[in-house]
Structure 1
Amino acid sequence: MGEFESKNEKESQSNERVEESHNLDGICEESGDIILNLHHNPIYGNSDLKDLHDLPTEILQKIFSSLLLERKVILISCLLSKLSSCVEALQAMIYPFTWPYSFIPVLPKSLWDFVEAPTPIICGILSIEVINDYEIEHGIVVDLDEKCILKEEGDEDKALCTSMLKTWRKSITIAKNIPQNQETHSYCLTDAYVNMFAIVLKNYGDYIVNGNFQKEAFIRSRKSKGVRRFLNWFTDTTMFLTFVDAVITNSQDFSQFDEKIALYGTESSSLILDKLLDWKILN
């Protein structure tokens, strides 16, 4: 028995340690240990994804895919506070990108005909009647109260590649193992999306040369076939093109995202998430 306890003690001392403080924003390796240094990051300043993430994971995935595909995303709830919170959270989900189309947290009934316009829109609506009175195409409509999809295109599951989904699901699981009343819970939800972009877009700055983005070379640089397939269509979106233009104009505006790439856009990023996942489940 004594030998068994001694062996366990040694194994415990050799395990990687994860220390929590504020939010996931740095890594330091000492003697084989993984230590996350967590400190304030403006990325999280106005984001609160808790209400939105009461939805099932499969619905969240379809909402996120619809955003990246630049389609209509319409959320419905009879509760104003929930509706506005969830609609605002959609902006945080796509950081470092910004939504380049109409964004209306609560669409009044007098303007419901906006949902029939052929252009993308993010909006919240306080009544389910809208789906009976108007024809909504090219997008997704979600009932927040019943936690169900009312309308969808049906191809949302094909937008993201396997490696992206794997990273996202790990991060979501980590967040769900943190009590919702802790500030870190909301930070981890935001990280689930930021980290995925950090992995997919790592080294993007190397392909902006003399004010031009070398799209084809950037896509070819990705080792994963799935990531290349994703980038083939995503780099043509207005969302991505606006991002590139903004980086060219003032790259310092994206320094926080670049720090995320330094942390999660590495070969060891999967190990970091695995260790965090093990740590949160065991604690």
Structure 2
Amino acid sequence: MVHNHMISELDYSCLSLPQIFDEVEKRRQISMAMIYPFMQSLREAPFPAPGNTVKIKSFIPDKGTEIISLTRPLDSWLEHVDFRTLFRCLTDEEVLLVFAAAVMERRIVFIAEELSTLSQVIHAVAALLYPFTWQHTFISIVPEILIDVVMAPTPYLLGVQKRLLEQVTDQSDLLVVDLSEDKEDTFLVRSGDEKSILPPKLQDEILQALRNRKEKATVEELNRVVSEAFLPFFVKTVGHFASYVTRKGSGQPGVFQSKAFYKAIESKTTRHFVKKFLQTQMFDLFIQEMEQQPASLQQGIFHKKIVEYQEKKKREKAKKK
């Protein structure tokens, strides 16, 4: 039986829905075989736009077909995020390494004794990806009955209690991050290339920006420093996307010109990174949403930062002339 306090800590993908796990548990009590059709219908359902709802039909013996409504939250960036635990458990360099693996949509497992540590860290890591959204399995506390999820070949962010560690570390090709205070090594399993994923200059800029925080920063102060460290990374690497969404007329859906987009990047290391990032599901979904949205609707903090950055670049160019 999954304890209720665990269920409330669970997310699936970015539909923050304990409800999904209630549904899984309901089916598990009847038969394990019933979980799979439910998860399959969930997987096949179209991913809702922010704020929208998707309805899933599901059959339960003796009860007939149920319709389950799942809603994706609106852009609630940083609303429920507390970065303090992440930066208490890991050094800035280690956070950067985890961020790099997450950006490449790899399989990442976090290990800790405390449920709250797992939950806070995993939500914080997902928030670092803003304006992109983790599109794959996301379980902040994996109950023992679901521990086999670590065998899945697809990307995931998982939180696993330390007592279940042995069931995780026999896997290769993943990043296992120990958050415990008494750890000898932070990375119990790693691919080894994580340090070379992000362009070196941009890595340095993130680390430099993180050093601006106070020793005992409040949640809000730390959130601001962290967002000012990580958001510019995406502004500088892919912030020019809007110029490469071509539209036949105003109000028409656009088409993203990916080749021209990454060829426009001057820095070779950035271009190399972006070429890989273009293949992620998070970028793909982001661009699909941008293609569907009229350009006039593209607002929000990411858009604002892009405009600021582009204006700054124009001013710098003008000075050079």
TM band (smaller chain):
0.7 to 0.9
Contact residue 111 and residue 165 of structure 2 kept, 8 A: no
Contact residue 76 and residue 128 of structure 1 kept, 8 A: no
Letter in structure 2 aligned against 1:156: E
Measured against aligned partners, the alpha-carbon deviations of 1:127-180 in whole angstroms (never above 9, x if no partner) come to 2533356632322111101371111111111110122212211211112x3532
- Of 117, 122, 141, the residue aligned with 2:152 is 117
Q: Which residue of 1 aligns with 2:211?
A: 173
Q: Which residue of 1 aligns with 2:278?
A: 235
Measured against aligned partners, the alpha-carbon deviations of 1:62-106 in whole angstroms (never above 9, x if no partner) come to 211111111111111101111111011121110011111111110
Q: Which residue of 1 aligns with 2:87?
A: 53
The worse-fitting range, judged by mean Cα deviation, of 44-53 and 216-225 is: 44-53
**SS of residue paired to 2:212:** helix
Q: Which residue of 2 aligns with 1:16?
A: none
Q: Which residue of 2 aligns with 1:262?
A: 307
- Of 220, 223, 235, the residue aligned with 1:183 is 220
Q: Which residue of 2 aligns with 1:280?
A: none
Q: Which residue of 2 aligns with 1:80?
A: 115
- Of 231, 242, 246, the residue aligned with 2:289 is 246
1:206 aligns with 2:251: no
1:150 aligns with 2:188: yes
Measured against aligned partners, the alpha-carbon deviations of 1:42-72 in whole angstroms (never above 9, x if no partner) come to 6432222111112012221221111111111
Percent of pairs with identical residues: 27
Letter in structure 1 aligned against 2:226: L
1:62 aligns with 2:97: yes
CA distance in 1, matches of 2:311, 2:195: 26
Measured against aligned partners, the alpha-carbon deviations of 1:214-260 in whole angstroms (never above 9, x if no partner) come to 11111121111111111111111111111101112236365321101
Contact residue 161 and residue 227 of structure 1 kept, 8 A: yes
CA distance in 2, matches of 1:93, 1:133: 24
CA distance in 1, matches of 2:168, 2:274: 37
CA distance in 2, matches of 1:226, 1:167: 14
Contact residue 200 and residue 265 of structure 1 kept, 8 A: no
Q: Which residue of 2 aligns with 1:136?
A: 171
CA distance in 2, matches of 1:83, 1:163: 30
The worse-fitting range, judged by mean Cα deviation, of 84-93 and 143-152 is: 143-152
CA distance in 1, matches of 2:222, 2:161: 27
CA distance in 2, matches of 1:182, 1:91: 17
Per the alignment, do residues 44 and 114 of structure 1 end up closer, same or farther by CA in structure 2, a change over 3 Å counting?
A: closer
Per the alignment, do residues 63 and 74 of structure 1 end up closer, same or farther by CA in structure 2, a change over 3 Å counting?
A: same
Q: Which residue of 1 aligns with 2:199?
A: 161
Structure 1 residues without counterparts, runs of 5 or longer: 1-40, 272-283
Q: Which residue of 1 aligns with 2:130?
A: 95
Contact residue 169 and residue 176 of structure 2 kept, 8 A: no
C-alpha RMSD of the superposition: 2.3
Structure 2 residues without counterparts, runs of 5 or longer: 1-74, 248-253, 317-321
Q: Which residue of 2 aligns with 1:197?
A: 234
**SS of residue paired to 2:138:** strand
CA distance in 2, matches of 1:266, 1:172: 24
State the TM-score, normalized to the length of structure 2.
0.66
Contact residue 126 and residue 134 of structure 2 kept, 8 A: yes
Letter in structure 2 aligned against 1:99: W
